[in-house]
């Protein structure tokens, strides 16, 4: 079983975002996405941790799994990736066609994922609005 669970799973579940290295897996708690590339998984996890470390203070929150609302974590994923796309391509768009390619391009452009100017992504994250659920 692959334990390389994608840190951007919320974006993949919405089908507006995609990743060429993700595979959907079904578990009792619902669907998750597993990465098929160890190096890509490490880069994405590093990106996600840096996005959280940069964005949580803007929401006046600390990194506590029990205290951070799910909506904030989703905004970090969606807004962070769209902001990163804006930095890399000049266009934030409304979706990301391939998260793996975006992260690879960012790592190339900024020399390493850790060198991304995360402070320039805070507004993308804090101003991102999540789509409301449709009533059934």
Digit-coded pLDDT (tens) for 30-80: 778 999 999 999 999 999 999 999 999 999 988 887 788 989 999 999 999
The number of C-alpha atoms within 13 Å of 33 and in the hemisphere containing its C-beta is 22
| C-beta of residue 109 within 8 angstroms of C-beta of residue 88 | yes
Tell me if 14 is assigned to some domain.
Answer: no
Which residues, in sequence order, are CB contacts of 104 under 8 Å at separation 6+? 40, 43
Tell me if 112 is assigned to some domain.
Answer: yes
Tell me if 27 is assigned to some domain.
Answer: no
Mark residue 106 as left, alpha or beta (left: phi above 0; alpha: psi -120 to 50; beta: remaining).
alpha
Tell me if 23 is assigned to some domain.
Answer: no
C-alpha span between 122 and 47 (Å, rounded): 14
The number of C-alpha atoms within 13 Å of 105 and in the hemisphere containing its C-beta is 15
Q: Is the pLDDT of residue 127 over 80?
A: yes
Q: Length of the chain, please?
A: 136
pLDDT for position 1: 47
DSSP state of 5: B
Tell me if 136 is assigned to some domain.
Answer: no
CA proximity to 100, closest of 52, 36, 28: 36
Tell me if 6 is assigned to some domain.
Answer: no
Structural domain boundaries enclosing 104: 39-126
Tell me if 18 is assigned to some domain.
Answer: no
Tell me if 58 is assigned to some domain.
Answer: yes
Q: What is the mean pLDDT of the chain?
A: 90
| The total number of structural domains that make up the chain | 1
């Amino acid at each position: 079983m692959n334990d390389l669970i994608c840190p951007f799973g919320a974006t993949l579940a919405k089908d507006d975002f995609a990743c060429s290295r993700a595979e959907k897996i079904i578990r009792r708690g619902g669907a998750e996405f597993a990465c098929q590339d160890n190096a890509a998984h490490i880069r994405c996890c590093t990106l996600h941790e840096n996005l959280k470390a940069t964005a949580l203070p803007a929401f006046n929150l600390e990194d506590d799994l029990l205290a951070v609302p799910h909506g904030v974590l989703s905004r970090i994923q969606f807004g962070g990736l769209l902001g990163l796309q804006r930095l890399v391509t000049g266009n934030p768009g409304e979706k990301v066609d391939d998260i793996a390619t975006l992260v690879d391009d960012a790592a190339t452009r900024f020399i390493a994922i850790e060198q991304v100017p995360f402070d320039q992504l805070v507004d993308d994250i804090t101003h991102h609005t999540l789509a409301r659920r449709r009533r059934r």
